[in-house]
Structure formats: C-alpha cells, structure tokens
C-alpha cells in the first residue's frame, strides 16, 4: 500500500470519528495475503487488529492517530450498532444478494435514499440510522440469501480500504456521506429484523421449478433434439450465439423436463463440434448457458392445456401439482401446509397455498392470450369459421379463470391436489429424516462420513428440513475436511472457557468435543447417556448448555428429568406423551438435576438410548412413530441412585466430572473469577462453536467410536462405587491417607460391623474384595493383603 493510500486511511478514520462513528483498525492486504500472517485466513483485510474491538473502538482522534501510527497500512473499520448510531444492510452479489434485495423491493417497495458504500468485492453496504428503543444484532442470510445485517457488536470495512481482490472500498458517487443524509430504515425492514420474523419471499415471475422427474418427458427430449439440430446447422458468425441460446433454453426445462444435465451437455457439445466450434470454448458456453437457464426455470407440462380444461377441478388440481411440486406440501401427519421460501420450508399460517392458485390462473391467462391472438389472426385472414372455433376455446378458458376466483372451487382444487399418491401431500415422517443433513442459517451442511468431510450447499426442497440452526456457517460454500476446519474453529473465548471448565485437561476437552459432535450427528449407535456432574455448582455446565442452545436453536432443548427417573405409578401405554414427542428431530437434549435419593429408571434409559423406533402421541392426537436422533445429557449436582447390578444400564452411563468453580472471590486452585458477561462473549463465537461441533462430528464419524478419557472412566467408576453398599461404607467409614495401609481382613471386619449397625445385607468377602479394590489400591505382601493410602475413621 502506498504512502498516499495510508494517509488517506488515517484521514478517513478521523473523518468518520468526527461523525461520532466508532473506528477500529483492521488488518490490511499485502501482496494478496492478510497481514495477520495466517496463510489460510478466511477474512483477509477484514478482521480487527485489536483485541476486544467492540469495546475499544473509538472516536477519540488521539487513539486513532496512535493506531495508524503503529499500523500505517491498516484498513478502516467502523463499529456498527447503537454505539455509532448506524446499522448496515450488507449486500453480497456472489451469494445471491442482488436477487434477494430485488425480491424484497418488489414485495415491500423501494428503500429511501441513504448513504451507500461500494465494497471492494463487488457488493455494497447500505447504511441506515440506528432506530431508538431497538435491538438490532448481526445476522447472515436471515432476511434473504446474500443479505447480511451488521448491528450491535458488528463492524464493516469502510472506504478507502483495500479488498483482498485488489478492489477499493468507495462511497457511491450518488450516495456519498458528504452529499446524502443517513436515512431511517423503512418499517418493513425493521419488522423483518425483529427476532423470529422472516420475509415471505415472493414467487418469481417465471413459474417455480419442479422436482426432477424419474424419466424425461417426450416434449423435453424433442426440445433438446431441436436445439441440437439448430446449433449443428448454424452458419459461421452465429454458431456460438446459437449454442449459448440453445443451452439457455434447455437449461430452463432441465428439471421440469426430467433431463439429465450430463446427457444434455454431451448432446449440445456434439452439436457444437458438428458446427465446427472448438471443444474448450463450447464447454464454457454450454456451462454458462445451462446455469443461466436453470436460474430462470420454466414448467414443461406433460399434457396440452386442453387436457386440464377438460377435467374440471381434477384438471386444475393436476396443473396445480405440476407447477407447485417442490414449492408447497401438505403434511398429513399434522394437516398443515408448508411453503418453500427459496431457502427453507416454513409453515403456511396465512393460507398462502390457496393464493398460489394464481400460478394456475397465470398458465390459463397465457393460453388465453395466445388464443385471442390466434383468433384475431384468423379473422384478418378471412377465416371466420376457424376464428369462431377459437373463440369458443377462449370462452372455456375465461370460464375456468372465473371459477378459480371462487372460494369453494379453490378449496376443492387444493384438496384434490393433496389427495392420492401423485399429489402435494407428504406423510410427515419425511421432515428432518436424513441425519446426514444439517440445516444452518445460510444453507445446509451435508456430511460424508466415509470421506470424513462436510459440504456447505444451498438447501433444496427435497431435503425436507424444517429444524434449522440459527447460526451461519462462517466459511464459503464448498467441501471441508477435518483439518480444513481448524482455521474456522478459532473462537478464542470459547476455547479458553472450555479448557477452564475442564481444569486444563485437554483430554477431557477433546472428549467433550467428541460427545457433543457425536450428538450432532443424529446417530444413536453409542446407546449412551452422559452425566455432567459438578457437586458444588457454578462450574460451567449450565453456561455450556446455554451457549449450545444459542448456537443450535431448535435442534437442542431441555427435557424433564422425570423422564429418566423411577415413578411411583406406571403410565398407560395409550396415554398422551408430549414429552416423548418433543424428542423428535432433536440432536441434543438435557435435563436439570434430580432430588437426592431419586433413582434412575433402568427401563426408560434403555428405551430412550436404545435406538429403537419410539412411539408417542401429543394430547388429542393419534399415535405416531419416529426414529430417535437425540443424545441425552443430565446436568446434576447430586448424582442419582441406580441399580448397580444392572450391567446393561451401567454400560450406557458416562460421567464427566466438573470440579472447577466460578465464584466472586476465588481462593482455591480450582476457583475462577466469575464473569457476568461471559455468556454474551461466548455467543460472539457462535459460528466458530458450530464449526468446532461439526469437527467433533466428523472425528466421531471417522473413528466410529468415542475416545477413551481417563478422567471420565475414573468419574464413572467412582459414581458406580458410591451408589452400592460397599461404596457407601467407603464414603462413610474410610478416608484418604497417603502412605498408610489397611489390612484387608480389618477392612472387611469394619465393613461387617458397619452393615450390622446400619441394618444392611453384607456382601461376601470375595465380592467385597473385588469392589473395594476398585476404590483403593490392593497389594499382596509377605504378611498379608493390604489396601494402601487408606485409613478408617
């Protein structure tokens, strides 16, 4: 970066500070690489040089001059949100931002004139005044693909910073900060930014794409052959244009016509070669044309329009199915309609499925216009009789259009469209049925366990994902290996917190990543329940699960501890079980601690961790079955009782002990200063935590088993021992005494006496020896058998 440019950056930073915008220095781009020195940096020139930047960003000229004195080539960042009085709509055209914004403007109206920055990567930052009494955070793609919001604790790269691709950030000439006032955001945009509100994406003018057919339609193959013939016979000078046009036209009907894309590309290439076009150039043209065509899909109907007109409501229903397949579906299990927004399925709460009949009307209106033109042409040619015949057809079409405006007709058409095998109805068990798919805020993660990779791609209607994670994936679309994720999983606050609650035990931290990653897979092959145990509280268990709930949203959630404990009365198998229904589609569930002396229900834990199909029903609903995808975590201070003779139960239990504490005045070696802001700080690492979890899932998928963790093995064995009679004897009558030893016979005699005093049935000396030796080291010596490092109280 030249001296002139570095001076401009400082000058700009001071100018922004004079507007009371909080400024911060960002890393710069040097020879195409980020100045942070990380060759794999995924945000070159975009991330802050200073720590705790949301708090240290400033409008103090002295601090700004000090920063740019230290880093003269630093890019300029502006803290967004309440602190600077602005929030920003970030439009990324590479991820469909322009199209998403156009859809919103068509639906809600134009944006007011306001300040706009053109980013160095081809996007733009649209700046609005931060509204009073509001709470605007940061989001990626929530209001539309390629549309991000930068609010509180967010930041943007500001002009005249340099982009990694070499472009320069610059204020738009017609929307410069010196010429245009920052406008208030329109009410519709603020409403979309409210928590839980999502835009209803309008249907494109072209008809929605259909799900691919099992076999190609004859009309589609005919169209492909026709385009190939036109390309092959094209004259010099028009051949490449004709190839591009043919690829575009076939791309439009690729899915609705059931055409195989590789077959289409091969046919078009053969035609191009026959016309004399070079292969490499032709392949580029074909790929470009097909891609453009797929973005502007058309419906290819399997029957002529007269077929649908002749079959009344049934014909309209057939046509409705053709144009709305993959866009609408009726869940027969809940009797609810769902709409594909373009990025995800959402429940239709406003009868949008009825309104979608306009797509059928549109087809009839298009045919009507053709018939009117045809009749006019026939009259002009003096063919009155033929024109009259066509007029009769137009009358039929007009009558049908009128009927489609009638509510009873609409209701019947929609009902018929959701009836039968080839309909818009689904059974309901299709939702979230594929555990290898994970819906995130900006797409879907697809796991390949064999290759140990995960791929971020756009979500498709036939993924049938309803439960999505509210957190965006921080990387670009593409495939990632386990090691690729190291660069994305760098959440410094979370990583420190994780190691702190594990007492610096990296093996335990790795084990937590493995079990949480295993839970994220939706697999239930371990048949395990994990008990997170902290005997004194304030040890990070709840903080950990709360941040996981923030990251994973509806994919996780709490359950009642009563589901896992023995009950005084047995419930009828026919009774409603909403708590069991709530487990459907969950990946992680957790319960709070139980009262002391409550006992685990062996049968229920085996049922809920066994992996078998679960049968449950909500109140006033019929029974339904579902495949479990959940892993259970119990968060508790007192450990529950259990049947220590039930080996199958004990095999399922894994205890993770948390012995660190967060207190106001830490004194002991296992105590840390409590930080009331810690939950908010951890949430800032949400995307990185998601990557860390996905990495844990891939590690589990690769190894197909959980790692051994000595601390977990020890805590689990200690739990089992403490819950049997011998364990209680050890707890009440023995103490750790390094260097001391106790003769085995004396230990057993003391145990017998204790059992007699407590009125308990004693175990044999053999059983006592087997169990007691798991608690204290046992050694045979010349003068007998002794337990070491133990004393009797």
Mean predicted confidence (pLDDT) in 156-160: 94
Give yes or no for residue 623 having a pLDDT over 80. Answer: no
Q: H helices within 61-152, ranges in order?
A: 61-70, 97-108
Q: Alpha helix locations (H) across 209-347?
A: 218-232, 239-252, 261-274, 279-295, 305-310, 312-324
pLDDT value, residue 587: 93
Which strand (E) or helix (H) includes residue 494?
helix 492-501
For residues 744 and 767, give the distance between their C-alpha atoms in angstroms, rounded to a whole number.
Answer: 13
- Tell me which of 4 and 328 has the higher pLDDT: 328
Residue 426 has pLDDT above 60, yes or no: yes
**pLDDT at residue 355 greater than cutoff 70:** yes
Phi, psi of 178 (to 5 degrees): -80, -15
Q: Which two tokens mark 716?
A: 């689990």
CA distance 222 to 264: 12
Per the DSSP assignment, residues forming a β-bridge with 510 are: none
Percent of the chain residues past pLDDT 90, beyond the cut: 43
| Residues pairing with 791 in the sheet | 735
Per-position DSSP letters for 202-216, written without gaps between them: PPPSSPPPPPPPSS-
pLDDT value at 205 more than 50? no
Question: Helices 725-733 and 710-722 sit at what angle, rounded to 10 degrees?
Answer: 90
Residue pLDDT, tens place only, 356-399: 998 899 889 888 888 888 888 888 888 899 889 989 999 999 99
| 450's tokens | 């064999």
Longest dimension (CA), the chain: 127
pLDDT of residue 7: 77
CA nearest to 674, candidates 500, 442, 454, 495 = 500
Per the CB < 8 A criterion, the answer to whether 662 and 675 are in contact is yes
Using CA atoms, how far apart are residues 424 and 420, in angstroms rounded to an integer?
9
Higher pLDDT, 108 or 586: 586
The residue among 608 and 193 whose pLDDT is bigger is 608
Q: Which of 344, 419, 469, 431 is nearest to 624 (CA)?
A: 431
Chain centroid, CA 185 distance in Å: 28
Q: Which two tokens stand for residue 117?
A: 């920055």
Mean pLDDT of the chain: 86
What's the whole-number mean pLDDT along residues 512-528? 94
**Upper half-sphere CA count for residue 696 (Cβ side, 13 Å):** 23
547-578: per-residue pLDDT in tens? 999 999 999 999 888 888 888 777 655 666 67
Q: Show Cβ contacts of residue 271 under 8 Å, excluding neighbours closer than 6 positions.
A: 227, 228, 229, 231, 232, 243, 246
Per-residue pLDDT at 206 exceeds 70? no
Least Cα distance to 694 among 467, 470, 358, 436 occurs for 436
Structure tokens at 758: 């407590």
pLDDT at 641 over 80: yes
- Rounded CA-CA distance 625/540 in Å is 36
Question: Which of 81, 323, 307 minimizes the C-alpha distance to 204?
Answer: 323
Span 114-118, average pLDDT: 94
**Among the ranges given (199-208, 293-302, 328-337, 405-414), the one the predictor scored with the smallest mean pLDDT:** 199-208
* Structure confidence at residue 575 (pLDDT): 64
Tell me whether the omega of the peptide bond preceding residue 462 falls within 30 degrees of 0, making it cis.
no
The tens digit of pLDDT for each residue in 643-663 reads 887 889 999 999 999 989 888
How many residues are recorded in the chain?
Answer: 793
* Listed ranges 29-33, 104-108, 529-533, 763-767; the one with the highest mean pLDDT: 529-533
**pLDDT tens track for 428-460:** 888 888 889 999 998 999 999 989 999 999 888
The answer, yes or no, to whether residue 406 has pLDDT greater than 50, is yes
Q: Using the predicted structure, report yes or no on whether residue 689 has a pLDDT greater than 80.
A: yes
H-run or E-run covering 607: helix 602-609
Question: What's the distance, Cα to Cα, between the start and end of the chain in Å?
Answer: 75
| Res 677 pLDDT > 80 | yes
Q: Are 149 and 63 in contact (CB under 8 A)?
A: no
Classify residue 236 by its DSSP letter: T
- Helix, strand, or coil here: 422? coil
110 by DSSP, 3-state: which?
Answer: coil
Strand order in the sheet with 425-426: 345-347, 336-340, 328-331, 425-426
CA nearest 59: which of 88, 81, 84?
A: 84
Give SS3 for 281.
Answer: helix
Pairing mode of beta strands 170-171, 75-79? unpaired
What residue ranges define each of the domains in the chain, with the CATH number in brackets?
3-193 (no CATH), 218-295 (no CATH), 305-426 (no CATH), 437-487 (no CATH), 492-716 (3.40.50), 725-792 (1.10.10.10)
The whole-angstrom distance between residue 272's C-alpha and the CA centroid of its chain comes to 42
CA 693 – CA 682 distance, rounded (Å): 14
Pairs from 307-312 (Cβ < 8 Å, separation ≥ 24):
309/396, 309/397, 309/400
Could you report the per-residue pLDDT of 236-284, keeping only the tens digit for each? 878 888 898 888 888 887 877 778 888 888 889 988 998 889 988 889 8
Separation CA 365–CA 250 (nearest Å): 24
Give pLDDT tens digits for 457-485: 988 898 999 889 999 999 888 899 999 99
Residue 560: phi and psi, rounded to 5, are -80, 135
- Strands, E assignment, 260-382: 328-331, 336-340, 345-347
pLDDT value for 93: 82
Using left for φ > 0, alpha for ψ between -120 and 50, and beta otherwise, residue 735 falls in: beta
587 touches 434 (CB < 8 A): no
For 428, the 3-state DSSP assignment is: coil
Looking at residue 694, what is its pLDDT? Answer: 96
Specify whether the CB–CB gap between 519 and 588 falls below 8 A. Answer: yes
Q: What is the pLDDT of residue 1?
A: 46
The pLDDT of residue 202 is 35
Torsion of CA 208, 406, 413, 340, to 10 degrees: 30
Residues 360, 361, 363, CA angle at the centre, nearest 5°?
Answer: 65
């Amino acid at each position: 970066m030249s001296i002139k440019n570095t001076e401009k950056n400082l000058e700009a930073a001071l100018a922004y500070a004079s507007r009371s915008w909080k400024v911060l220095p960002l890393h710069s781009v040097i020879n195409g690489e980020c100045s942070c020195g990380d060759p794999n940096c995924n945000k070159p020139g975009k991330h802050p040089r200073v720590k705790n930047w949301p708090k240290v960003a400033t409008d103090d000229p002295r601090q700004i001059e000090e920063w740019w004195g230290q880093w003269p080539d630093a890019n300029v960042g502006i803290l967004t949100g309440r602190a600077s009085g602005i929030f920003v709509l970030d439009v990324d055209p590479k991820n469909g931002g322009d199209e998403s914004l156009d859809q919103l403007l068509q639906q809600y109206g134009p944006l007011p004139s306001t300040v706009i920055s053109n980013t160095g990567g081809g996007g733009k930052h649209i700046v609005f005044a931060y509204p009073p009494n509001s709470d605007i955070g940061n989001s990626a793609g929530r209001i539309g693909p390629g549309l991000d919001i930068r609010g509180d604790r967010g930041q943007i790269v500001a002009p005249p910073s340099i982009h990694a691709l070499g472009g320069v950030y610059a204020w738009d000439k017609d929307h410069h900060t010196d010429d245009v006032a920052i406008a208030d955001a329109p009410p519709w945009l603020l409403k979309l930014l409210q928590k839980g509100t999502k835009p209803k994406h309008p249907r494109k003018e072209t008809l929605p794409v259909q799900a691919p057919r099992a076999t190609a339609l004859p009309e589609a193959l005919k169209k492909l052959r026709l385009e190939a013939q036109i390309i092959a016979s094209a004259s010099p000078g028009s051949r490449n244009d004709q190839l591009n046009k043919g690829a575009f036209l076939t791309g439009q009907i690729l899915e609705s016509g059931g055409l195989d894309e590789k077959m289409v590309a091969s046919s078009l290439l053969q035609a191009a070669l026959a016309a004399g076009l070079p292969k490499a150039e032709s392949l580029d043209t074909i790929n470009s044309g097909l891609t453009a065509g797929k973005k502007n899909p058309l419906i290819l109907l399997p029957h002529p329009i007269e077929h649908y007109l002749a079959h009344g409501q049934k014909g309209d229903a057939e046509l409705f199915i053709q144009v709305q397949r993959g866009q609408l579906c009726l869940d027969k299990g809940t009797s609810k309609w769902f709409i594909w927004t373009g990025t995800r399925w959402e429940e239709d709460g406003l009868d949008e499925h009825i309104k979608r009949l306009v797509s059928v009307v549109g087809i009839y209106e298009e045919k009507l216009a053709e018939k009117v033109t045809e009749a006019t042409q026939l009259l002009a040619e003096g063919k009155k009789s033929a024109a009259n015949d066509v007029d009769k057809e137009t009358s039929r079409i007009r009558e049908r259009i009128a009927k489609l405006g009638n509510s009873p007709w609409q209701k019947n058409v929609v009902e018929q469209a959701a009836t039968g095998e080839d309909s818009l109805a689904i059974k309901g068990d299709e939702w979230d049925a594929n555990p290898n798919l994970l819906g995130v805020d900006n797409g879907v993660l697809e796991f390949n366990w064999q290759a140990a990779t995960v791929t971020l791609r756009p979500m498709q209607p036939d993924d049938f994902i309803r439960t999505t994670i509210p957190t965006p994936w921080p990387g670009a679309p593409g495939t990632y290996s386990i090691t690729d994720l190291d660069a994305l999983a760098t959440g410094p606050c979370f990583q420190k917190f994780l190691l702190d609650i594990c007492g610096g035990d990296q093996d335990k931290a790795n084990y937590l990543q493995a079990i949480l990653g295993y839970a994220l897979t939706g697999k239930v092959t371990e048949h395990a329940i994990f008990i997170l145990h902290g005997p004194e509280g304030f040890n990070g268990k709840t903080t950990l699960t709360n941040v996981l709930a923030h990251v994973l949203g509806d994919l996780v959630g709490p359950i009642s501890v009563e589901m896992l404990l023995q009950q005084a009365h047995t419930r009828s198998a026919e009774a409603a079980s909403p708590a069991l229904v709530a487990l459907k589609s969950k990946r992680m569930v957790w319960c709070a601690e139980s009262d002391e002396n409550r006992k685990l229900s062996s049968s229920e834990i085996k049922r809920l961790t066994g992996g078998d199909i679960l049968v449950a029903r909500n109140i006033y609903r019929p029974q339904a079955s579902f495949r479990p995808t959940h892993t259970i975590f119990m968060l508790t201070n007192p450990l529950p009782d259990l049947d220590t003779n039930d080996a199958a139960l004990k095999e399922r239990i894994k205890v993770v002990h948390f012995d660190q504490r967060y207190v106001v005045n830490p004194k002991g070696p296992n105590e840390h200063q409590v930080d009331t802001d810690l939950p908010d700080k951890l949430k800032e690492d949400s995307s990185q935590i998601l990557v860390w979890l996905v990495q844990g899932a891939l590690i589990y998928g690769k190894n197909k088993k959980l790692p051994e963790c000595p601390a977990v093995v020890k805590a689990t064995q200690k739990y089992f021992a403490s819950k049997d009679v011998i364990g209680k004897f050890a707890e009440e009558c023995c103490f750790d005494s390094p260097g001391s030893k106790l003769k085995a016979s004396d230990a057993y005699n003391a145990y017998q006496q204790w059992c007699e005093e407590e009125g308990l049935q004693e175990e044999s000396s053999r059983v006592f020896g087997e169990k007691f030796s798991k608690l204290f080291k046992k050694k045979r010596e010349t003068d007998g058998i002794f337990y070491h490092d133990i004393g009797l109280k």
